[in-house]
Amino acid sequence: LSPGQLYGDVLYFATEARAGWAHSDPHPFYFWGYFVGLNGVWLLVPGLLLLDAGHQLATAQRGHDRP
């Protein structure tokens, strides 16, 4: 689920950037507070979950590889 969420968020930001930010409010508070800040949470949480899952998988594999 996390890779799909990250893909959707990157696609969301990329299409808006490619359109020249035409669909976002030009006020700095709105852009940085709402558009980047609140939508950034949807990048941060899945990213942290993926890092945690990778760490746990690596730890489990190291434990399995020990004789």
**For the segment 20-40, what is each residue's pLDDT rounded down to a tens digit?**
988 887 888 988 998 889 888
Question: What's the pLDDT at 9?
Answer: 87
Left, alpha or beta for 21 (phi > 0: left; psi -120 to 50: alpha)? left
Domain ranges of the chain: 3-65
Q: Whole-prediction pTM value? A: 0.67
Asked whether the predicted pLDDT for residue 3 surpasses 90, the reply is no
List the structure tokens of 31.
């852009």
Which residue stretches of 1-67 are H helix?
A: 2-18, 28, 39-65
